[in-house]
Structure 1
Amino acid sequence: MESHGSSFSSPRTYLRALSETPARLARRAVSVSTSYEEMSAVRARSGSDMEKSLGWLDLIGFGVGGMVGAGVFVTTGRASRLYAGPSVVLSYAIAGLCALLSAFCYTEFAVDMPVAGGAFSYLRVTFGEFAAFLTGANLVMDYVMSNAAVARGFTAYLGTAIGVPAAKWRFTVAGLPDGFNEIDVVAVVVVLAVTLIICYSTRESSVVNMVLTALHIMFILFVIVVGLCKGDWNNFTEPGDPTHPSGFFPYGVSGVFNGASMVYLSYIGYDAVSTMAEEVRNPVKDIPIGVSGSVLIVTVLYCLMAASMSKLLPYDMIDPEAPFSAAFGGKWESRVIGVGAALGILTSLLVAMLGQARYMCVIGRSSVVPAWFARVHPKTSTPVNSSAFLGSYMSAA
């Protein structure tokens, strides 16, 4: 496997490297790495090793924080109203099972090759560099654009929580097309604050995530308890409008699976946990518990949330855009939900940005982008010999 880190050393060498693109692409497109190379020579390009400061509890916290964002507050209503009705509870259970099976795949790779690359590294050792490059580019774009959208969503939910319209925190730039002419000051501040936290230390990032996730789960439990206590069990079988189909499966079994395909989006985030495998103290034990455990916990929470919403209102009266706020109806309940959703956005943003940074690090190790993307600062690392770690890991495995 060849290295072209010097291609970015100066404008002249970069231009020369561009002229050699066809030949380099032919050599590298189908070339594959190995687990040993990823964990030794490739990993050594970062200089210092990442500090091994995470255990299974940290990984569960990152997994739950990454998944339980604001998505569940929207997808539940749409899936129930349009596809599954009260059986949306089963839709979440089916989607959770699918997410768990996918999590097992990530776990298998992460245990076999505990490096920060996630899907990018897994593809490099299976399908080659070109497939890894396409996946890495898509992942980076996904993280950048989704993080921007999520940060703007934080402004909206924060405004709901404190009773201030989000428009008051945004200002318009003249000369730009509609939809691209507003700057969200709060979103910018949130992104910068999260960036400073994750740059300081992964250990401290985990502590912050644990605190925010715990608070968020408290709000979710509030929604579940109030919904189950205030609701009516008849709403699980009777629609509000007599002309609509009745029963627990108003749209049939196919509606349950259609709903599952929609609510699966609420589980996205567990894959970011695998990008932190290089910082786990005991990958063989901690990664399976962390990844699978977080998916199981989130599945239970989502099913209970769906049940509470279905108990509060007949499925044909649920607002597909803001189901929980409309179901509770009261002003103070809506504000509580806004606070909970805002906290969920912060945790999902923090986990996503951690994953994004590690993808860029590993892409830098492969020399697809400048090598300085791969550098690990000595102050946030532990100087552990890579070959010694590799030997001890293989003995443990």
Structure 2
Amino acid sequence: MSGFIASCARDVRALASPDAWGFSPTEYLDMLLRYPQLVRNRIFKTKTAEQMEMEAEHKGPLKRTLGKVGLTCVGVGLMLGAGIFIAPGTIAVNFTGPALCIAYLVASVSAFLSSFCYSEFAVDMPLAGAAYNYIASTLGEFTAWVVTSNLLFEYILADAAVIRGFAPYFAVLIGKDSSYFLYDHYMLGEWYTMDWWAFALTLLVTAFLAYGAKESTTANTIITIIHVLVMVFIIIAGFCKADSANIKPFFFPNQPGQPEAWKQIFNGASIAFFSFVGFDGVAAAGEEVIDPHRNMPIGILGSMTIVTVIYFLMCIVLVLMVPVGMIDTGASFASAFEYVGLGWAKHIVALGAILGILTGILTGIYTPARILTGCTREGMLPPLMSWVGPKQTPWVATWLIGITVAVIALLTDFAKLGDMVSIGTLVVFWFVAIALLWRRMHVPGQTKPLRLANQLLHIFAIIGFSLGFILVWKLPIYNEIDSVVGKWKGQQNAWLLALAICCLLTPISMHFFCKPAYIPAGYKVPLYPFVPCASVFVNTFLLGQLSQESYERFGWWTLGVTALYTVYGIFAAQRKDNKSGCESSVKIGQEFEDASGQPGVVAITTTKV
């Protein structure tokens, strides 16, 4: 305890140092005078994995405590949360009908394709930060910051949405009404449904995570195993009460003036994707993994497989137990067991939901704290946010994420939060796939102009054909006026087929005419370049299913973080690189002196930054 207090006291004293905030006022003004040149030099600036590892060592590496079981449980805990107890009912009633399981399979395809890309990067760069590091090392720090900051925002919203489910399910567990622990409060001209349980529990979990990674991941592993056993019970008990008549017809009947019913599956898949948000958290834990070259692919792909199988079976169970028209969108599985005469089982469902909430919030704060640490190490935010505590955990980042989640969860209900989650994660998956393609084919400073043009042509081809496909898919929806029906809609299938063929031909052309310039020594994406190209296509397709409100939120947040980069991040990142360059020069001189064996002889090395 005395060591912890001493460490905190040192950190408080360090707040007065420019190193805590990124730069001094004098340094800021000096760089401001060179702003145009600074913008040109930094926006597309990339770093190698070796440079990132050196900076992680300098900042204070995180402690390696996770094996393959603990890492897999981090992924399962992140994904197998409360979302499966809420989202399926809404999707089945509003979009898919009994074909609910197909929507979840489509969403899992996107996550699986991205998991292969993440695994290759994670083995090569097992550092806190995950997607930020992957994109920054290939597409530049500005793109990495904008994309990853959206992922951070998604995590915070998803955590707040998940923790808001604790009080209602706990009330059900003890035999009370779901609103028993909630109360309405009028404040600032608006009514809020306050949830002090969510607020307090979030802060308690945050303190636990800040105390130590080993203790928190051990608890997560135990809770996740119990949670999976509860899910298995729900699946078995549900199949015992299944009625095949409930899934006929499998698709909703077509409605006049609406898209074909089977197409609604993809709208449902974009919402079902909420349940897969978090698998990238396994990659974000890379700096705390024992033997990451072996365990990272096992943790990422293993957790995805377990969660996909459980989701698929639970979706089948739900629609077999209850006719779609009778599904309760608020408490789907609990009401389903009451419908089939197993009212006592709703308490087990509530227990499963509570365990999912606990693992979800544990790993849901654990992961963005690591991502935030990676961004901060690169100078996007004040360095004090990446400070590592006595237990070698990013305790400043952990508390910052935890307090933000607690405040949002106190004031905002699940319905409002759930609609805002998914777009940031899909965008990150999209950029990680592009980053992997670019990393394999392009070597900075060594690529001839003709080869560079060929590489860009192939990258923009897969992006353009994927965008074209989703535009052709969506635009006929707006062509329902009697006077224009048929002028364009009749040609939709032909255009879709043509664009699908183009999307398939692009990776084939890459394979023959855009040979990889870099092949990693460890884990490699299977069937390169088809898997990353398929990831780009599927994520583009699912992004096209999201609502206008999601894009408005995404746009405003992106505008805000871009402004932050232009007034702070670009200066702090440059100052950090300048300081790292000076330290590297001093280190080289010291090593030369030691190696020479002649005391008093020092090699003076200068580094131009």
After TM superposition, the score normalised by the length of structure 2 is 0.56
Q: What is the match of residue 231 of structure 1?
A: 242
Residue 204 of structure 1 aligns with an amino acid whose one-letter code is: E
User: Which among 316, 335, 338 is matched to residue 307 of structure 1?
Assistant: 316
Task: Tell me if structure 2 keeps the 8 A contact 1:81–1:316.
Answer: yes
Residue 365 of structure 2 aligns with an amino acid whose one-letter code is: M
Q: 1:366 to 1:319 in 2, by over 3 A?
A: same
Q: What is the match of residue 53 of structure 2?
A: 39
Residue 288 (structure 1) shift: 0.7
1:278-298 per-position Cα deviation (integer Å, ceiling 9, x unaligned): 111111211111111111111
Task: Indicate whether 1:72 and 2:81 are aligned.
Answer: no
Partners in 2 of 1:327 and 1:17 — Cα distance?
66
Partners in 2 of 1:356 and 1:315 — Cα distance?
36
Task: Tell me if structure 1 keeps the 8 A contact 2:108–2:276.
Answer: yes
Task: Indicate whether 1:215 and 2:226 are aligned.
Answer: yes
User: Which among 239, 254, 259 is matched to residue 268 of structure 2?
Assistant: 259
User: Which among 19, 24, 27 is matched to residue 41 of structure 2?
Assistant: 27
User: Which among 149, 156, 164 is matched to residue 137 of structure 1?
Assistant: 149
Task: Tell me if structure 1 keeps the 8 A contact 2:18–2:24.
Answer: no
User: Which among 276, 281, 290 is matched to residue 281 of structure 1?
Assistant: 290
Residue 175 (structure 1) shift: 3.6
1:38-77 per-position Cα deviation (integer Å, ceiling 9, x unaligned): 112x212323x21111111111101111001111122212
Partners in 1 of 2:193 and 2:31 — Cα distance?
37
Q: 1:166 to 1:126 in 2, by over 3 A?
A: same
Q: What is the match of residue 390 of structure 1?
A: none
Task: Tell me if structure 2 keeps the 8 A contact 1:273–1:291.
Answer: yes
Q: What is the match of residue 388 of structure 1?
A: none
Partners in 2 of 1:254 and 1:175 — Cα distance?
43
Task: Tell me if structure 1 keeps the 8 A contact 2:84–2:311.
Answer: yes
Matches within 5 A, 1:356-367: 356-367=368-379
Partners in 1 of 2:269 and 2:113 — Cα distance?
15
Q: What is the match of residue 385 of structure 1?
A: none
Task: Indicate whether 1:194 and 2:205 are aligned.
Answer: yes
Q: 1:168 to 1:319 in 2, by over 3 A?
A: closer
Q: Secondary structure at the match of 2:165?
A: helix
Q: What is the match of residue 387 of structure 1?
A: none
Task: Indicate whether 1:334 and 2:346 are aligned.
Answer: yes
Residue 261 (structure 1) shift: 3.0
Residue 32 (structure 1) shift: 1.1
User: Which among 309, 316, 329 is matched to residue 325 of structure 2?
Assistant: 316
Q: Secondary structure at the match of 2:59?
A: coil
Partners in 2 of 1:58 and 1:338 — Cα distance?
25
Shifted more, 29-38 versus 90-99: the winner is 90-99
Q: 1:9 to 1:204 in 2, by over 3 A?
A: same
Q: What is the match of residue 297 of structure 1?
A: 306
Shifted more, 16-25 versus 95-104: the winner is 16-25
Partners in 2 of 1:289 and 1:396 — Cα distance?
13
Q: 1:341 to 1:297 in 2, by over 3 A?
A: same
Q: What is the match of residue 63 of structure 2?
A: 51
How high is the sequence identity, in percent, across the aligned residues?
Answer: 33
Residue 17 (structure 1) shift: 7.2
Q: Secondary structure at the match of 1:343?
A: helix
Task: Tell me if structure 2 keeps the 8 A contact 1:70–1:342.
Answer: yes
Matches within 5 A, 1:81-230: 81-165=93-177, 167-170=179-182, 175-179=187-191, 181-230=192-241
Q: What is the match of residue 369 of structure 1?
A: 381
Q: 1:215 to 1:288 in 2, by over 3 A?
A: same
Q: 1:137 to 1:93 in 2, by over 3 A?
A: closer
Q: 1:9 to 1:235 in 2, by over 3 A?
A: closer
Partners in 1 of 2:292 and 2:328 — Cα distance?
43
Partners in 1 of 2:24 and 2:106 — Cα distance?
53
1:154-210 per-position Cα deviation (integer Å, ceiling 9, x unaligned): 22222222234565544665542435x454221122112211221122121111111
Shifted more, 224-233 versus 322-331: the winner is 322-331
Q: 1:54 to 1:316 in 2, by over 3 A?
A: same
Q: 1:237 to 1:277 in 2, by over 3 A?
A: same
Task: Tell me if structure 2 keeps the 8 A contact 1:45–1:365.
Answer: no
Task: Tell me if structure 1 keeps the 8 A contact 2:167–2:182.
Answer: no
Partners in 2 of 1:110 and 1:215 — Cα distance?
28
Residue 44 of structure 1 aligns with an amino acid whose one-letter code is: E
Task: Tell me if structure 2 keeps the 8 A contact 1:7–1:13.
Answer: no
Segments of 5+ residues of structure 1 without an aligned counterpart are: 382-393
Task: Tell me if structure 1 keeps the 8 A contact 2:168–2:180.
Answer: no
Residue 396 (structure 1) shift: 7.5
Partners in 2 of 1:37 and 1:189 — Cα distance?
40
Q: What is the match of residue 481 of structure 2?
A: none
Partners in 2 of 1:171 and 1:18 — Cα distance?
51
Partners in 2 of 1:191 and 1:57 — Cα distance?
25
1:324-364 per-position Cα deviation (integer Å, ceiling 9, x unaligned): 12211254333322221121111111111111111221122
Q: 1:146 to 1:93 in 2, by over 3 A?
A: closer
Residue 149 (structure 1) shift: 2.9
Q: What is the match of residue 272 of structure 1?
A: 281
Partners in 1 of 2:159 and 2:27 — Cα distance?
30
Task: Tell me if structure 2 keeps the 8 A contact 1:114–1:278.
Answer: yes
